[in-house]
C-alpha cells in the first residue's frame, strides 16, 4: 500500500525538484518546489475549450490514460516493500498498461486533426516501439539474476544479492533503464519538456489542444509515470534492504530525489539530441540490455 | 458427429441451391440461411467435445485408392472448428448486406463458393485420411480462389487471384510429399496409422513449408497481402481469421504424428515466428491500403502464433512442462483471438470501403463522426490486436510472456535463450503494432475527412453492424473471462504436447490465479476509467465548456489537407527499418521563387516478391519457353503426343515385366 500511496502523493514533487535544480544551475531562484501541485490545482479549477474537429476520443484520452497509469502504479514496489498488487508476470501488465496510456494519448492527438499533434504522435510511437524492448529485456535480465519475475520480487530483498552475483550485468541494465526513463518521460536528451512550439517536440506537442481538468489529468499522469519508471531504476540502483521497511523506503525516496536532481543536471548540461539520433540512443539502450543478458546467460 | 456432418451437408446443399436459383435476392437468402444453419449445427458438437464429451469418429468406405471417408472430432479439431463456424456465420450475415449494397456486382455464385469454403474448412479440420484431407484442402483453395477473384473486372484482382492459385498449389505439393512419406511405413493414409518413422526432421520441414504457405509464414506469405485485400471483405475476414489457421492446425496435427522432434525444430519455429512477426508488422505499418495493412498484420499475428509453438517445442525438448504448456496455450488462444479481432477489423474495413468506395488510408479521415458505432468497434479491435489490457489480445500474449519469463528465470541457457528472443520480439512487435493501429484508426476515423468520399460516409445497416459489434463484445468478454477459458484448453494441450493429463492440468491451475489477478486488474481499469470520467464530468459541470478550431499555432485557416497523413505518421519507423522492408520514395521538391509543382510518393512493395520470387519465376518461364514450339494449337498433333506417350509407357511396362 505504501509504495502506491507515496507515488500518488509525491510524484509531482519530483518535477518540482528537477525544475528547481535546473533553475539553480542557471543561476536563478526558480519556482517553488510545490509549483507542480499549484499548476494542477489551477488547471482543475478551469473550464475547457474543445476543438470542433474532436470527438469523444479526444475527451476519453486523458481519462483512460490516467486510469491506466494509476493501475500501473499499484504494481510498482518501492524500497523493497511489496507493491499493492504483485503476481508473477505483473512486469508485463505494467509495460502494457503504459502502452494503453500511450495508445489513447496518441489517438487523442490524432483526433485534433492538427499536423503538429500528428507529428508528436508519430514520434511518440516510434520512440516507444524502440524503448519497449530495452525495458522488457532489461527487466528480463533482472528477473534471471534474482530468479523471479514479479516486479516486487525482482526489486525486493533479492536485488542486493543480485548485485553481489552479477554486478556488471545489473549496471548495464541500470544504464538501459536510465535511457528508457529519460525517453519515456520526454526529458533531455530525447525531448525538451520546456518547449511547446518547436519542430523537435514529442510529448508536449501531443497535448497541445488539451486544457483545464483534462490537462491536469495528463500532467498528473505524466508525473506518475515518471515516478514509476524512476522507482524501477532506483529499486535496482539503490539496493538498500535493511529489513526495516521505513529505512528502506526512506533510502529509496532519497534515491528518487537524487534521480530528479540528476535529471535536472542532465537537462542543464546537455542539449537535446537531433531527432534522427534519438533512435540510436534507444537502440543503444536495447543493446545494453542484450549485453547484460549475454553476461548473465554465459555465467549460468 | 452426425450433427456436424449435417451442418456440412446443409452448407453444401445451400450453396448448390444458391447457384441454381435465378434471382440474386433468392440466392442470397438461401445461401446466408444455409450458412447460418450449417454453422449452428456444426458448432454444437464442437462445444460438446471441448466441454468433455467423448471423441466421436465415423469411417465410411470410399472407393478411392488409399482413400476412406474417415472423420473425427477430437479436442484439437473441436478447438479449431469453433472459430471457423463462429466467424463464418457472422461473416455470412454481414455478407448478405455487403454483397447486395456494395459496389460489387452481386452474383449468386458468391454464395456457392462461400458455403463451399466454410464446408471445406470444416472438412479439413475433421478429416482423418490423407486423401480426404487433400481433397478438402483443394476444395478450400479453389473456393477461396474463386472468391478472391470475384471482382474479376479489375486487373489487379485477377493478378492477385493467380498469385494465390499458384502459391497454394506449390504449398500443397509439399503436403503431398509429406503424406506419402508418412504413409510409407504402414501402407495406409489414415491418420491414426501414421506413426513416427525415420527422417522426422525432413517430415517436419515438409510440413513447415507446406502448411506454412497456407498460414502465411515469411517468406511463403507473398500471396497473402495480394489475395486478402482483393476478396470481398466478409471473405477477407474468413480467410484471414480462420482459413490461414488451417495451416496452424495442420502443423499441430502433424506434430501429433511425428513424436519427439529434434532441438532445432523449436528454434526454427521461434526464428520463423520472429521473422514473420517483426517483418509482418513493419510491412503493415508501411501500407497505404487499409485492407492490405490488415493482411500484413495477419502475417504478424501468425508470427506470434509460431513464436508460441516454438516456445512450446523448446519446452518439450527441455523437459519443462511449464514452458510447453504456456507456449502452446498462448499460441492456441491467439488463434481464436486473432480470428475474433482480425475478423472484426476486416469487416470494419469493409464497412469503410462500402461507405467511402476507397481503401486508401490517406483519402479517409473523420469517419468516427459519420460511422460512430462501426468506429467504436474498430477501435476495440485495434486496441485488442495491439495486445492492450483488458482485451483478448493481451491474454494470449501474456501467456507467451509468462512462459518466456518463467523459462528465463528457471531454465538453463539452452531454453532461456529462445525465451529471451521471444520476449524481445514480442516487445518490439507490441510497440510496432501500436504504431500501426494508431495509424490505421487515427487516420481513418479521427480528424477531418481528407476527401469528399470520406465526408459523405454513413453508418452501414444493421446486418453489417451487428456482426462487427458482436465481435467487439467478444474481444472484451474473452479478455475479462480469461481464467475460465484455460480449463477447456487442457485436452487440446494434452494432444499437442503429448504430456500426461494431470501435468497439463496442474500447470494450468498454477496459472489460473495469475490470470485471475490480471482479469481483476482489467476490471479495476474499467471501473477506474468510469470513476475518473465521472470526476471529470463533475468538475466540468457548470463551468464554461466551449468549442473552437484546433489550435495550429496561430494559423487561422486549418484545412483537412494540412493534417498529418498516414505515410508521414509511419515515416520515422519505415525510414529506420528501410534496410529490412525497402520503402521507396519519389520526391520532387518545389523549386524557384514561384514553385509550380511538388510531389511526394512512397511505396513499399514486398521485398520477397520482388527479389526472391520474381527472379525465380522469370527464370523458370524463360527456360520453359524453349519448349513452346511443342504447343502450337493443332489438336490432332496433341492426340499424336498422347498416343506416343501411351506407346512409350506400354513398352516400358512390357520391358519391366
| Chain A neighbors of B550, CB-CB under 8 A | 51-54, 112-114, 209
Contact across the interface for A297 and B416, Cβ inside 8 Å: yes
Residue B116 lies in a domain: no
Separation of alpha carbons B652 and A73, rounded Å: 80
Boundary-marking domain end, from B433, B462, B479? B479
Domain boundary among B450, B479, B508: B479
Which of B316, B324, B253 has the alpha carbon at shortest distance from B508? B324
d(CA A226, CA B133): 56
- Residues with Cβ within 8 Å of B203's Cβ and at least 6 positions away in sequence, in order, are B178, B181, B182, B197, B254, B258
End-to-end CA distance of chain A: 35
Answer yes or no: is B348 within a domain.
yes
pLDDT at B102 over 80: no
- Which residues form the domain of A176? 2-299
How far is Cα A88 from Cα A150, in angstroms, rounded to an integer?
4
Please check whether residue A128 touches B, CB under 8 A. Answer: yes
Assigned domain for B160 exists: no
Q: Give the C-alpha separation, A266 to B71, whole Å.
A: 69
- Max Cα separation, chain B? 102
DSSP of B348-377: HHHHHHHHHS--BGGG---HHHHSHHHHHH
Q: What is the rounded distance in angstroms from the CA atom of residue A143 to the CA atom of residue A155?
A: 9
Q: Is residue B180 part of a domain?
A: no
CA-wise closest residue to B577 among B130, B235, B279: B279
Contact (CB<8Å) B545/A49: yes
* C-beta atoms of B532 and A143 within 8 A: no
E strands present in B409-554 = 545-548
Q: For residue A72, which of A8, A136, A127, A119 has the smallest C-alpha distance?
A: A8
Do residues B394 and B426 lie in contact, with contact meaning Cβ atoms separated by under 8 Å?
Answer: no
Q: Which residues on chain A are in Cβ contact (under 8 Å) with B330? A: none
Domain-embedded: residue B177:
no
Q: Decide if A184 contacts A173 (C-beta within 8 A).
A: no
**pLDDT value of position A138:** 95
- If asked whether residues B472 and B611 sit together in one domain, one would say no
**Confidence class of residue B56 from pLDDT cuts 50, 70 and 90?**
confident
User: Which residues on A lie below 8 Å from B572 (Cβ)?
Assistant: 122-123, 126, 279
Residue B235 has pLDDT above 90, yes or no: yes
**Helix, coil or strand: residue B345:** helix
Q: Does the beta carbon of A214 lie under 8 angstroms from any beta carbon of chain B?
A: yes
Over residues A247-265, the pLDDT tens digits come to 999 999 999 999 999 999 9
In a domain, B309, yes or no: yes
> Is A68 within 8 Å of chain B by CB?
yes
Nearest-angstrom CA–CA distance, B593 and A94 = 53
Q: How many domains does chain A have?
A: 1
Contact assessment for residue B428 and residue A132, using Cβ atoms and an 8 Å cutoff: yes
| Boundary-marking domain end, from B458, B479, B500 | B479
pLDDT tens digits for range A61-99? 999 999 999 999 999 999 888 999 999 989 999 999 999
Averaged pLDDT, B576-596: 88
Whether A200 has a pLDDT exceeding 70, the answer reads no
In a domain, B172, yes or no: no
- In this prediction, residue B170 carries a pLDDT of 93
Closest to A54 measured CA to CA, from B444, B550, B532: B550
A151 with A75: CB under 8 angstroms?
Answer: yes
Q: What domain count does chain B have?
A: 2
Predicted confidence (pLDDT) at residue B108 exceeds the cutoff of 80: no
Residue-number span of the structural domain to which B629 is assigned: 607-656
* Shared domain check, B444 and B301: yes
Name residue, grid cell 503504459.
A98
Reported as a single tens digit per residue, the pLDDT across B482-521 is 888 888 899 999 999 988 999 999 988 888 888 999 999 9
CB proximity B598 to A under 8 Å: no
CA distances from B110 to A197, A250, B146, B474, B570 (A): 55, 70, 8, 27, 36
In a domain, B361, yes or no: yes
CA dihedral angle for residue B548, residue B551, residue B557, residue B558, rounded to 10 degrees: -100
Burial class (CB in 10 A: 0-12, 13-18, 19+), A99: buried
pTM for the model stands at 0.95
Predicted confidence (pLDDT) per residue in A143-176, tens digit: 999 988 899 999 988 888 889 888 999 999 999 9
Q: Are B24 and B106 in contact (CB under 8 A)?
A: yes
Q: Is the pLDDT of residue B106 over 80?
A: no
- Mean pLDDT on A196-218: 82
In angstroms, what CA-CA distances link B533 with A65, B383, B536?
11, 20, 5
Amino acid at each position: 500500500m505504501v509504495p502506491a500511496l507515496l507515488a500518488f502523493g509525491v510524484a509531482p514533487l519530483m518535477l518540482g525538484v528537477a525544475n528547481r535544480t535546473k533553475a539553480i544551475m542557471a543561476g536563478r531562484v526558480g519556482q517553488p518546489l510545490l509549483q507542480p501541485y499549484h499548476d494542477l490545482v489551477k488547471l482543475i479549477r478551469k473550464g475547457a475549450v474543445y476543438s470542433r474537429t474532436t470527438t469523444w476520443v479526444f475527451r476519453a484520452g486523458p481519462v483512460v490514460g490516467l486510469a491506466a497509469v494509476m493501475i500501473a502504479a499499484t504494481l510498482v514496489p518501492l524500497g523493497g516493500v511489496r507493491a499493492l498488487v504483485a503476481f508473477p508476470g505483473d512486469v508485463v501488465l505494467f509495460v502494457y498498461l503504459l502502452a494503453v496510456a500511450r495508445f489513447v494519448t496518441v489517438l487523442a492527438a490524432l483526433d485534433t486533426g492538427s499536423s503538429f499533434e500528428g507529428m508528436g504522435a508519430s514520434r511518440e510511437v516510434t520512440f516507444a516501439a524502440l524503448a519497449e524492448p530495452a525495458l522488457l529485456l532489461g527487466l528480463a535480465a533482472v528477473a534471471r539474476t534474482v530468479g523471479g519475475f514479479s516486479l516486487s520480487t525482482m526489486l525486493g530483498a533479492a536485488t542486493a544479492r543480485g548485485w553481489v552475483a552479477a554486478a556488471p550485468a545489473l549496471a548495464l541494465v541500470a544504464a538501459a533503464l536510465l535511457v528508457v526513463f529519460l525517453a519515456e518521460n520526454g526529458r533531455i536528451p530525447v525531448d525538451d519538456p520546456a518547449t511547446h512550439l518547436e519542430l523537435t517536440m514529442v510529448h508536449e506537442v501531443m497535448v497541445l489542444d488539451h486544457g483545464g481538468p483534462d490537462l491536469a489529468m495528463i500532467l498528473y499522469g505524466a508525473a506518475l509515470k515518471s515516478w514509476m519508471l524512476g522507482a524501477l531504476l532506483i529499486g535496482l540502483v539503490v539496493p538498500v534492504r535493511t529489513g526495516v521497511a521505513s529505512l528502506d523506503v526512506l533510502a529509496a525516496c532519497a534515491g528518487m530525489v537524487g534521480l530528479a536532481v540528476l535529471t535536472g543536471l542532465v537537462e542543464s548540461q546537455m542539449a537535446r539530441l537531433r531527432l534522427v539520433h534519438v533512435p540510436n540512443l534507444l537502440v543503444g539502450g536495447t543493446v545494453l540490455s542484450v549485453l547484460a543478458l549475454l553476461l548473465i546467460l554465459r555465467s549460468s | 458427429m452426425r450433427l456436424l456432418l449435417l451442418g456440412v451437408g446443409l452448407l453444401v446443399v445451400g450453396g448448390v441451391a444458391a447457384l441454381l436459383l435465378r434471382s440474386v435476392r433468392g440466392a442470397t437468402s438461401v445461401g446466408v440461411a444455409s450458412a447460418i444453419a450449417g454453422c449452428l449445427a456444426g458448432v454444437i458438437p464442437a462445444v460438446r467435445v471441448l466441454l468433455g464429451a467423448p471423441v466421436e469418429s465415423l469411417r465410411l468406405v470410399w472407393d478411392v485408392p488409399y482413400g476412406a471417408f474417415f472423420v473425427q472430432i477430437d479436442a484439437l479439431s473441436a478447438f479449431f472448428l469453433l472459430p471457423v463456424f463462429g466467424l463464418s456465420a457472422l461473416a455470412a450475415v454481414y455478407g448478405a448486406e455487403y454483397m447486395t449494397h456494395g459496389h460489387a456486382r452481386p452474383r449468386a455464385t458468391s454464395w456457392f463458393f462461400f458455403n463451399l469454403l466454410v464446408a471445406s474448412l470444416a472438412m479439413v479440420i475433421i478429416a482423418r485420411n490423407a486423401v480426404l484431407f487433400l481433397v478438402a484442402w483443394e476444395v478450400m483453395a479453389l473456393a477461396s480462389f474463386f472468391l478472391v477473384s470475384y471482382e474479376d473486372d479489375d486487373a489487379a484482382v485477377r493478378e492477385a487471384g493467380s498469385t494465390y492459385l499458384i502459391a497454394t498449389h506449390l504449398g500443397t505439393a509439399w503436403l503431398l510429399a509429406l503424406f506419402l512419406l508418412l504413409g510409407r511405413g504402414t501402407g495406409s493414409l489414415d491418420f491414426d496409422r501414421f506413426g513416427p518413422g525415420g527422417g522426422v526432421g525432413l517430415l517436419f520441414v515438409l510440413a513447415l513449408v507446406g502448411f506454412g504457405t497456407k498460414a502465411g509464414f515469411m517468406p511463403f506469405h507473398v500471396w497473402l497481402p495480394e489475395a486478402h485485400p482483393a476478396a470481398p471483405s466478409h471473405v477477407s475476414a474468413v480467410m484471414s481469421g480462420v482459413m490461414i489457421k488451417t495451416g496452424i492446425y495442420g502443423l499441430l496435427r502433424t506434430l501429433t504424428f511425428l513424436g519427439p522432434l529434434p532441438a532445432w525444430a523449436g528454434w526454427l519455429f521461434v526464428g520463423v515466428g520472429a521473422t514473420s512477426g517483426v517483418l509482418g508488422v513493419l510491412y503493415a505499418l508501411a501500407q497505404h491500403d487499409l485492407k492490405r495493412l490488415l493482411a500484413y498484420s495477419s502475417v504478424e499475428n501468425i508470427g506470434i502464433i509460431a513464436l508460441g509453438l516454438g516456445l512450446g517445442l523448446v519446452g518439450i525438448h527441455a523437459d519443462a512442462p511449464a514452458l510447453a504448456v504456456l507456449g502452446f496455450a498462448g499460441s492456441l488462444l491467439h488463434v481464436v483471438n486473432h480470428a475474433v479481432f482480425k475478423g472484426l477489423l476486416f469487416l470494419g474495413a469493409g464497412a469503410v470501403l462500402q461507405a467511402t468506395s476507397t481503401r486508401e488510408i490517406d483519402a479517409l479521415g473523420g469517419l468516427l463522426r459519420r460511422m460512430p458505432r462501426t468506429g467504436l468497434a474498430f477501435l476495440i479491435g485495434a486496441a485488442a490486436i495491439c495486445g492492450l489490457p483488458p482485451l483478448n489480445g493481451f491474454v494470449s500474449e501474456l501467456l507467451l510472456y509468462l512462459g518466456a519469463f518463467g523459462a528465463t528465470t528457471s531454465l538453463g541457457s539452452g531454453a532461456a535463450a529462445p525465451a529471451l528472443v521471444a520476449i524481445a520480439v514480442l516487445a518490439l512487435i507490441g510497440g510496432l503494432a501500436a504504431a500501426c493501429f494508431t495509424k490505421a484508426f487515427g487516420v481513418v476515423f479521427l480528424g477531418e475527412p481528407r476527401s469528399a468520399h470520406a465526408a459523405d460516409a454513413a453508418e452501414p445497416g444493421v446486418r453489417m453492424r451487428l456482426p462487427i459489434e458482436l465481435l467487439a463484445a467478444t474481444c472484451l468478454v474473452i479478455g475479462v473471462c480469461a481464467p475460465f477459458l484455460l480449463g477447456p484448453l487442457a485436452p487440446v494441450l494434452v494432444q499437442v504436447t503429448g504430456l500426461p493429463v494431470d501435468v497439463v492440468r496442474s500447470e494450468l491451475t498454477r496459472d489460473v490465479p495469475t490470470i485471475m489477478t490480471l482479469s481483476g486488474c482489467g476490471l479495476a481499469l474499467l471501473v477506474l476509467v468510469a470513476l475518473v470520467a465521472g470526476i471529470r464530468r463533475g468538475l466540468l459541470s457548470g463551468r464554461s465548456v466551449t468549442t473552437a478550431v484546433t489550435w495550429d499555432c496561430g494559423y487561422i485557416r486549418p484545412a483537412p489537407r494540412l493534417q498529418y497523413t498516414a505515410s508521414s505518421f509511419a515515416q520515422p519507423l519505415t525510414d529506420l527499418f528501410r534496410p529490412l522492408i525497402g520503402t521507396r520514395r519519389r520526391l520532387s521538391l518545389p523549386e524557384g521563387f514561384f514553385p509550380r509543382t511538388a510531389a511526394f510518393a512512397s511505396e513499399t512493395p514486398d521485398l520477397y516478391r520482388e527479389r526472391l520470387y520474381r527472379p525465380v519465376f522469370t527464370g523458370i518461364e524463360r527456360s520453359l519457353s524453349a519448349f513452346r514450339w511443342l504447343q502450337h494449337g493443332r489438336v490432332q498433333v496433341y492426340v499424336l503426343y498422347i498416343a506416343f506417350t501411351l506407346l512409350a509407357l506400354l513398352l516400358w511396362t512390357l520391358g519391366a515385366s
